């Protein structure tokens, strides 16, 4: 595979323990395929230090936050811990976003707790002038109404988007990017294809959201560069543009989203 594109994986969990034995290989393979850097999303305080250490060791980027799946019983205490680590890293230019946070109606975490964590993280994002990396499952109406009332200063991205064009347009109108992952490569993902067709290319960023243990999957399915190239080529075909043009646009969108220099 040629490295003709210059790409950023805007959401990939390479800090997860599952990757401990394969991380060096995956970063090498990723960069050989033209993916210059990646953003490690924050999911739980347990991972924060490891993310920071990996971002330093492999020269990549990270976000800090709480995923709705991993909230503890002490949201107030957890938000204090998040605020302390953000303060400590406020001059670390590898820290590029707050998240992944959001609302998820399919997870067990009580709704009130999810809301409390979401609101707390929006206010921390504002305080540290960071964009939000949002995880939204079956809660688009609630997330949109919260975003409209809280008006986060830096907007952000709806990662792993799978919804209809109307929803994507509503987020886009609020200044958010739409994170497109491997689902676009699924021939049955008609709603997402419609979304990619109907919005302008500057609405999107691309991601793998890779999080599974490589040894349990065929190696091809954990080739980050290959996955992102396929997504770019699919978008290019849908928008009748060249792959190079789409990859340049995705890079520019990622730089804009995460405020990279
Ligand atoms: Zn994720």
Q: What is the CATH number of the domain that holds 68?
A: 3.20.20.140
Kind and range of the H or E run holding 40: strand 35-40
DSSP-assigned states of every residue in 162-186: ---HHHHHHHHHTT-EEEE-GGGGS
Residue 41 Cα to ligand 1 midpoint, Å, equals 6
Residue 198 Cα to ligand 1 midpoint, Å, equals 25
Residue 22 Cα to ligand 1 midpoint, Å, equals 19
Residue 169 Cα to ligand 1 midpoint, Å, equals 22
Residue 11 Cα to ligand 1 midpoint, Å, equals 6
| pLDDT tens per residue across all 261 residues of the chain | 444 678 999 999 999 998 998 899 999 999 999 999 999 999 999 999 999 999 999 999 999 999 999 888 889 999 999 999 999 999 999 999 999 999 999 999 999 999 999 999 999 999 999 999 999 999 999 999 999 999 999 999 999 999 999 999 999 999 999 999 999 999 999 999 999 999 999 999 999 999 876 566 665 678 999 999 999 999 999 999 999 999 999 999 999 999 997
Residue 42 Cα to ligand 1 midpoint, Å, equals 8
Closest CA to 135 of 167, 103, 105, 91: 103
Q: Is 189 inside a domain boundary?
A: yes
Tokens 């243990």 belong to 213
Q: Which domain holds residue 75?
A: 7-258
Q: Is 1 inside a domain boundary?
A: no
Residue 207 Cα to ligand 1 midpoint, Å, equals 9
Counting the structural domains of the chain, the total is 1
Tokens 């230019």 belong to 93
Q: Is 184 inside a domain boundary?
A: yes
Q: 59 — alpha (psi -120 to 50), left (phi > 0) or beta? A: left
Q: How far apart are CA 11 and CA 41, in angstroms?
A: 6
Q: Is 2 inside a domain boundary?
A: no
Q: Is 63 inside a domain boundary?
A: yes
Q: Is 127 inside a domain boundary?
A: yes
Residue 40 Cα to ligand 1 midpoint, Å, equals 9
Nearby residues for ligand 1 (ion, Cβ within 5 Å):
41, 209
Q: Is 222 inside a domain boundary?
A: yes
Q: How far apart are CA 117 and CA 67, in angstroms?
A: 9
Q: Is 65 inside a domain boundary?
A: yes
Predicted local confidence at residue 249, as pLDDT: 98
Residue 144 Cα to ligand 1 midpoint, Å, equals 19
Residue 209 Cα to ligand 1 midpoint, Å, equals 5
Residue 72 Cα to ligand 1 midpoint, Å, equals 18
Residue 236 Cα to ligand 1 midpoint, Å, equals 25
Residue 62 Cα to ligand 1 midpoint, Å, equals 12
Predicted local confidence at residue 213, as pLDDT: 62
């Amino acid at each position: 595979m040629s490295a003709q594109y210059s790409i950023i994986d805007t959401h990939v969990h390479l800090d997860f323990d599952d990757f401990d034995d394969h991380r060096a290989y995956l970063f090498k393979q990723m960069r050989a395929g033209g993916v210059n850097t990646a953003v490690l999303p924050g999911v739980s305080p347990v991972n924060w230090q490891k993310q920071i250490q990996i971002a330093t060791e492999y020269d990549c980027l990270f976000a800090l936050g709480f995923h709705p799946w991993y909230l503890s019983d002490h949201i107030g205490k957890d938000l204090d811990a998040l605020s302390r680590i953000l303060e400590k890293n406020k001059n670390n230019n590898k820290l590029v976003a707050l998240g992944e946070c959001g609302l998820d109606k399919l997870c067990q975490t009580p709704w009130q707790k999810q809301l409390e964590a979401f609101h707390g993280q929006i206010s921390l994002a504002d305080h540290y002038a960071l964009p939000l990396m949002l995880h939204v499952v079956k809660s688009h109406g609630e997330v949109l109404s919260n975003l409209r009332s809280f008006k986060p200063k830096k907007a952000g991205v709806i990662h792993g988007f799978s919804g209809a064009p109307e929803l994507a347009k509503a987020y886009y109108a609020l200044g958010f990017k739409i994170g497109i992952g491997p689902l676009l490569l699924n021939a049955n993902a008609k709603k997402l294809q419609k979304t990619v067709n109907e919005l302008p290319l500057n609405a999107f960023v691309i991601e793998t959201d890779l999080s599974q243990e490589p040894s349990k999957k065929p190696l091809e399915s954990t080739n980050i560069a290959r996955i992102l190239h396929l997504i770019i080529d699919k978008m290019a075909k849908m928008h009748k543009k060249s792959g190079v043009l789409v990859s340049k646009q995705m890079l520019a969108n990622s730089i804009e989203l995460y405020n990279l220099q």
